[in-house]
Amino acid sequence: MQTNPGQNAAVRATPDVLNPLDREDLMGVRRVPAAAWACICSLSGLGLLAATWIWTEDVPWRSLQAEPAMLAVAALLVLLGELFSIDVARRDETTTLASLSTTIAVAMVAVGPISFLLAVQVAAVVIDDLQNRRAPFKIVFNAGQYITALLLARAVYCLVSGTGFLAGPQRLTVADVPATLAAGLVFLLVNESLVSIASSLLTRDPPLRGVPADLRMTTPITLVLVGMAPLAGYLLTNALPLLPLMLLPGLAVWYLSWVAAQRQRISLQDPQTGLPNRTLLYQRMDKAVADQDRGAGPPVALLLLDVDHFKDVNDVLGHQTGDLLLRELGQRIAGVVRPGEVVARLGGDEFALLLRGRDVATRAHTLARQLLADLIEPLDLPGVRLAVQCSVGVAVVEAPGVSVNELVKRADIALYEAKRERASVGVYSQQACTAAARRLSLLPDLRDAIAAGELRVQYQPLIEGGTGKLLGAEALCRWRHPVRGPVSPADFIPLAENSGLIGGLTRLVLNQALQTTRQWLDCGLDLQVSVNISPRLVSDGALPELVAELLGRHQVPADRLTLEVTESSVVNDANRATVVLDQLRQVGVRLSMDDFGTGYSSLSVLQAVDVDELKLDRSFVSTVDRVSADAILVRSTIKLAHALGLTVVAEGVENEAVAGELRVMRCDHLQGNLFGRPMSAEAITALAGDRGLTRYRNQVVDLKAAERRREGYRQVL
């Protein structure tokens, strides 16, 4: 039985597939004891081999002259057994290879000669290891462990049976069965213990605990193989033509073990991506946390990665495309990790990465950023090219005392914070935990409030830049919690987006806004209303139908409704977003590009989407009354929009100086606290009725001051 440089098949898809002797040095010194042990085993085995051959004063192949047929068949079976071995799981999730060569090798321990057996076994090990491209030191270690185990097994056999150590070949009788079984048990114990001790030294597990644990996992199948050795030895020496009959139960054992290995592989592998699944990830986390708790392991980091808008891919393109997308993403993620780092798929569109090492915090942050950059690159799938965005949550544990469940909880909180910003990295902190817990505790109440229609819409006035005339208002959702009081939209809107409630919330806002617009029309007020559409809904094919339904229910002309979408929501999935926005255009509503200037600000976006207006972000608008780069950008954007036939809205107008400058720049519409904070529908009606905006109408502009500002722009340019 030799060690396998790969783990069981369930994890061969990842770089974390390593034998205990081949693992990355996570602590900087961990490999030293294990490597020293491997060297001792290798050198002692090779030394014993040389001593045996020198002692016999004979070369192994001369033994063939005595029983050529029997020894040739035995050598062939040993070689075939090594080449067709079976993976048997170990406690550290690596595998040991069990094969029918164990049966023949133990039989030959009894039959002899030992020099011939050692030569055959070493040759079989070298051929098998070379075929599997194992490292040279690994080949030497495997040969050394076999030589040591076989020689000790032969010594025990000779001690029990009274046979000479160098005797053979000899015929096996029923009287030799106890000695053969005793030799087989010694071979099993020594061979497995040599590997288990190396694994324990690497993982800093106490060998007295590690060796028994490995034996409990590997002994059942190897005991069966050892138990067949007396029969194999008897047939080899007394009834060679009947040996194929013995191979039938051996093949049955091999097949059953293969089936068990396949079942284990399936139980630990995600079927769609070939990556480790949640079960294997938790096993690894249990081990990593346990090592850290007893001071034998390095710091640990867990990264959770979530694909934004994956549900839309399944809904629009089908589950087959979604599965292909997950497979491609899994390959990309696995391609950037280092040996010793675990990549797993947890289910749905969520992946996890488990890292260990002294610099794990730095590595985790670097890897998270790298993943965002790599995964945003377009994927070419059959019939479609997709660009996806992901969010990553990072939790690092550098001190003992944190359970696996707590580690996962921290990574979940970090992921939640990342998803609030979209396509970003969230890092766990106690402050983030407190804030996230507060927001998450609102979720049941938010769900109930949406279902009961308890959220209310307020309206911020929108005026015409040139005349100060009230044109309409932007609908803004507000929530007064019965216990906590007013809840900021910055808290409950991302919560709705990340919990699947945004659809119901958008329906509530649209319904109230259109109901109010109908009331304004009935009062003779020809006002328009604008509503923000979440990026998560811009690609939702059901949105146009919902808008058409509500317009019809409230009998509101479609051109009185403006839907505001952000640049990033269009760019992230341009193909589907364009289809949905075209359908909304067919419904007759107006479209506005919200927060223009904060995203891509690309002409290609304006060319791809047929919008009616651009809405300048408040971060640029607030400085237009001063000579600054922002003022120049705003002025240029207004000219560009007018050249394209678009209306321009400036939001965040807080003072009369900014409003005056925007009028000079011929900005079409203005919005901000200067004209009124968000208010009730009744307040908008009163504002329009008593002409509360009269002081902004026909405002005289200091043309000389405006000319001085223009001269300032030219000097800056």
Domains of the chain, by residue range, sit at 32-267, 278-428, 450-617+676-706, 618-675
The fold of the 278-428 domain, in CATH, is Alpha-Beta Plaits (3.30.70)
| DSSP secondary structure string for all residues of 691-706 | TTTGGGTTPPP-HHHH
DSSP single-letter state for residue 678: S
Element spanning 476, H or E: strand 470-481
Q: Which residues contact 271 (CB under 8 A, 6 or more apart)?
A: none
Q: How is domain 450-617+676-706 classified at the architecture level of CATH?
A: Alpha-Beta Barrel (3.20)
Burial class (CB in 10 A: 0-12, 13-18, 19+), 694: exposed
Mean pLDDT in each 10-residue stretch from start to end of the chain (717 residues)?
38 33 39 68 73 62 69 86 67 57 88 83 86 81 85 90 82 89 90 78 66 69 82 86 75 71 76 87 88 79 86 72 85 86 88 89 90 82 77 88 88 83 76 70 88 92 89 94 88 84 93 95 92 86 92 95 84 74 92 72 64 85 74 86 91 89 91 91 83 48 46 44
Output the pLDDT for position 92.
47
**Given this model, what pLDDT does residue 56 score?**
60
* Spatial distance between the Cα atoms of 251 and 263, rounded to a whole number of angstroms: 18
CA distance 103 to 229: 5
pLDDT score recorded for residue 12: 28
- d(CA 25, CA 371) in angstroms, rounded, equals 24
Residues 459, 326: Cα–Cα separation, whole Å: 42
Q: How many CA atoms does the CB half-sphere of 297 hold within 13 Å?
A: 26
Predicted local distance difference test score (pLDDT) of residue 19: 38
Query: Is residue 479 helix, strand or coil?
Result: strand
Q: With contact defined as beta carbons under 8 Å apart, do 267 and 375 qualify?
A: no
Give the DSSP H or E segment for 595: strand 590-596
Amino acid present at 58? D
Cα-trace Rg, the chain:
37
Q: How far apart are CA 271 and CA 610, in angstroms?
A: 42
pTM of the complete model: 0.57
Q: Give Cβ neighbours of residue 452 (< 8 Å, ≥ 6 apart).
A: none
Paired with 329 in beta bridges are none
Query: Closest Cα partner for 98 from 188, 17, 227?
Result: 188
- Give 713's contacts (C-beta < 8 A, 6+ positions apart): 627, 631, 632, 635
Q: What DSSP element (H or E) covers 14? A: none
Which residues lie across from 342 on neighbouring strands?
A: 354
- Cα 717 from Cα 629, distance rounded (Å): 9
pLDDT at 644: 87
Local structure of residue 562 (DSSP, 8 states): E
